[in-house]
Amino acid sequence: MARFFQYHHDHQHQKRKRELMADSFFAYLDAVNGDPKQMFVLQVRFGLDLAMSQVDGIDNLVASRIVLKTSLENSRALASAFDSTGQRLEGMKQRLPSLEAAVRHVPWQKCTFVAIREHIDRAFGPAAAVLKVYDIIQELQKSLLSHPCSDLSTYLLMVKQLEESLIFLADNCGLAIQWLEAILEFLEDNAVHDDLYILNVNKSLSILQELQATDKHARLGGGILCAAVDKLEIEFKQILVENSICVVLDSFSSSIRNQASIAPSPLPVAVIQKLQAIVERLDADNRLEKCISTYVEARCLNTMRSFQALDLDYLNQSFNEFDDVQDVECYVDQWCKHLQLAVKQVFETEYKLCSDVFEKNGPEARMDCFAKIVTQSGILSFLRFGKKITECKNDPVKLMKLLDIFAMLDNLRVDFNRLFGGSACIEIQTMTRDLLKGVVNGACEIFWELPIQVELQRRSSPPLDGSVPRLVSFVTDYCNHLLGDDYRALLTQILTIQHSWKQEKCQEELVTNQIYYIIKQIGLNLDAWSKAHYDLTLSYLFMTNNHCHFCSLKGTNLGGLMGDSWLKAHEQYRDYYMTLYLRESWGKIFASLSQKSRILSSPTRGFVGDLVKKRLKSFNEEFDHMYQKQSNWVVPCEDLRLKMCKLVVQAYVPVYRSYLQDYGFLAEADASPSRHVKYTTQGLEAMLSSLFQPKLSKSGGTKHNRLIGKIKDMVTDNFRLALMAV
C-alpha cells in the first residue's frame, strides 16, 4: 500500500514537471518569434532536458527517445524548407533586373488613362440620361403640334412635361460637361498628346453643349416651348372672346341708389378653371404680363360694348359747354345714374372675374389687371365730368346738383374703397378725392352765399302785375327742398365735412339758421318792393299775394321750420292788406253811387236826371279805368282769387243794383240810355268775377306753373342770372 502511494506521488510529480517544461517550451517559441533555426535549437535543448529528467525510469527513456526522434524529423523538414526557399529567392533576385527593364518600356500615358477611368465612369451616367430625355423631348414635340382646344388639360400637362424635360436635359448636360472638362484638364496637366482621344472628348463636349442649349432655344421665338406657349396665349384669348357677354344695363332704374352690388356671375366655373390653368402655365413661363395685356384688351372691348347702350358721348364734351349747370342739368342726372351702373354692375363684374381668373397669382396681379380695365373703360372720363360740374358758375340749381353728386358718391363710397383701394388705382383715388373736395367746397360756398344773393335782388323792380316775385317763389320752394329728408341730411353732412377739414366744430343748427336768415332777407325785399309800387292799390294787392304765399307754406318743411305763429302772422297780414286793397280800389268807385241824399234833395226832376246821368257816366269811366288796370293784375292763389272776387261782388254789386233800381228810370228817359247805363248788374258781376286770372302762356299753361314743382321748372333765365356770383 505504501509502494502504491509512493508510485502515485512520483507519477504526479513527473506530470507536473512535464507541464512546466511544456510551458517553458511555448514561452521559448514566442521569444524566437517563429525563427526556424532558433526553434530547432530549442527543440534539441528541450529534448535533452526531458531525457535527463527521466533517466531514472525506463518509461522515461522510452518517452525521451520518441521525443528526440520527432525533433530530428522536424529538423530535417525545416532544413529542406530552408534550402528550397533560398533557391526561390535567388531566382527572384535574378529576374528583377529584367522586369525593371520591361516596365520602363510601358508607355506612361497608359497609366494616365487608368487614372482618369473614374472621370469617364462618372460622365457616363449623365450622358446616358441625356440620350433618354432627348428621346422624350422629341416625342413631346410631335404631340405639341396639335391645338390646345382639342384637349386643354392634356396639352397643359405636355407643356409642363416638356419644360421639365428641357430643364432635366440641361442639368444632365451640365454634369457630363463638367466631367469631360475635368478629363481634358487632367490630360493637359499630364501632357498627354493623344490627338484622337482629345478630339473625341472635344467632340463629345460640343454635342453636350449644343444639347444643353436646347432649353434656351426652345424658349426663344420659333422654339418648341415658345410655340406651345404662343398657342396657349391664343387659346386664352379665344376663350375670353367666346365667353364675353355684355352686361345689360338699365339706366332707368329708380332704385339704383339703394341697390347693393348686383353684378351677375361673370363666367361659368368650367371656363374660369380653364383660364386659371392657362394663366398658371403662362406665369411659370414669365408670360404673365402678356397674359394680363391680352385679358385687359378682351375685357375692355366687352365693357365698352356694355356702355354703348348708355350713350356716354356727353362725357367728352368740351369744358366751354359747361359754363352754366342749367345747360347740362339733364346730363348731370344721367351721369349720376350711369356712374352707379358702371360701378355696381360693370366694374363689379370685372373685379369678380379678375379675382377668379388671377386668384393664384397674388393680389398685386389681380389689382393691376383690374385697374387697367377700369381705366381704359372710362372711369376717369366719369370722374372728369363730375369735376367739370364743380367748376361751373355758381348757381342755386348747381347746389342741388352738387348734393345729388355727393349723395351718389356717398352711396358708392364702400364700393370705391373696395374696388379702387389698391396701389394700382392711385390715379382713380386722387381724382375721386379731388371730385369730392370740389363737391363739398362748391356746395358750401353756394349755400353760404344764398342770403347775399337774395339781398342783392332788393334793388330790382317788383312784378308789375302784383303777383308773387319769382325770387320769392323760388327761394321758398328751394328752401323746402333743402329741408327735405334727403337734402337736409346731405347738406348737414357736407357742412360737417368742411368744418372737419378746417378742424372746426360744426353746429347742428347751421342749416336751419341759414334758412331763417334767407327768409328774413326775403321779408326785407318784400317791404322794399311794396314801396316801389307807385300805385297804392297795387302795393296792397302785391302784399296780399305774398303774405298768402307764405300762408300756403303750412304743412311744408319750411312752414314747419318757421312755426305756427309765423304762419298765423302772415294770415293776418294777408287779410289786412286784402281789406286795404278792397277799400282803396273798388270801395272808392262805388262810394259815389251810395250818395243818395244829395240826389233826393235836388229841387227839380230835370236836375235829378242830369245828376244821375253824370254820376253814371263818372262811374263808368272810373270802373272802366280800374277794370282795365286790374285786368293785368294777378292773384296766383286760386282760393285767394275766388275769395277776393266774391268779396268785391258781395260788397259792391248790390250797391250798383240798388242805384239802378232807384235812379235807373231817369237815365232810361234819355233818347240813348245805353250811354249812361253801360253795364247791367249781371254783366258787372261777371266782370268783377273774372278779375286776377293768370295769363295763359303759348303752351297752354300759366306762366307761374313752371315755378312750382322741381327746381328746374321754377328758375327762369333772368332769375338764374340774378342769383349767380356777386
pLDDT digits (tens, 9 = 90+) for 536-578: 999 999 999 999 999 999 999 999 999 999 999 999 999 999 9
Higher-scoring residue by pLDDT: 185, 377: 377
User: Does the pLDDT of residue 433 top 70, yes or no?
Assistant: yes
Residues in the chain, total: 726
Closest CA to 14 of 71, 52, 68: 52
Is the backbone of residue 107 left (phi > 0), alpha (psi -120 to 50) or beta? Answer: beta
At 702, is the secondary structure helix, strand, or coil? Answer: strand
Model confidence, pTM: 0.69
Q: Among 29-33, 100-104, 255-259, 468-472, which range has the highest average pLDDT? A: 468-472
Can you give the pLDDT at residue 264? 56
**β-bridge mates for residue 636, sequence order:** none
Closest CA to 187 of 103, 119, 121, 123: 119
Mean pLDDT, residues 643-672 = 75
143-171: pLDDT as tens digits: 555 666 666 777 767 667 666 666 666 66
Reduced 3-state DSSP string for 284-316: HCCCHHHHHHHHHHHHHHHHHHHHHHHCCHHHH
Q: How confident is the model at residue 204 (pLDDT cuts 50, 70, 90)?
A: low
Can you give the pLDDT at residue 232? 80
Closest CA to 578 of 439, 692, 415: 692
Higher-scoring residue by pLDDT: 251, 375: 375
User: Does the pLDDT of residue 522 top 90, yes or no?
Assistant: yes
Consecutive H or E run containing 243: none
Q: Among 163-177, 321-335, 697-711, which range has the highest average pLDDT? A: 321-335
Q: Among 234-238, 518-522, 609-613, 697-701, which range has the highest average pLDDT? A: 518-522
| Cα 624–chain centre separation | 74
- Among residues of the chain, what percentage have pLDDT more than 70? 59
Can you give the pLDDT at residue 720? 43
Cα distance between residue 239 and residue 232, in whole Å: 10
Can you give the pLDDT at residue 4? 34
Consecutive H or E run containing 552: none
Mean pLDDT lowest among 122-131, 175-184, 243-252:
122-131
Cα distance between residue 220 and residue 216, in whole Å: 7
Higher-scoring residue by pLDDT: 145, 489: 489
**Range 54-77 burial, b when 16+ CB lie within 10 A, else e:** beeeeebeebbeebbeebeeebee
At 604, is the secondary structure helix, strand, or coil? Answer: coil
Can you give the pLDDT at residue 680? 84
Cα distance between residue 701 and residue 629, in whole Å: 23
Can you give the pLDDT at residue 414? 94
Closest CA to 396 of 343, 468, 324: 324
User: Does the pLDDT of residue 709 top 50, yes or no?
Assistant: no
232-280: pLDDT as tens digits: 888 888 888 888 887 777 654 444 444 544 455 678 888 888 898 888 8
User: Does the pLDDT of residue 100 top 50, yes or no?
Assistant: no
Backbone angles phi, psi at 33, to 5 degrees: 60, 40
Closest CA to 424 of 377, 361, 357, 364: 364
Closest CA to 720 of 398, 319, 331: 398
All cell numbers assigned to 84: 528550397
Cα distance between residue 170 and residue 276, in whole Å: 29
CB 373 within 8 A of CB 302: no
Q: How confident is the model at residue 178 (pLDDT cuts 50, 70, 90)?
A: low
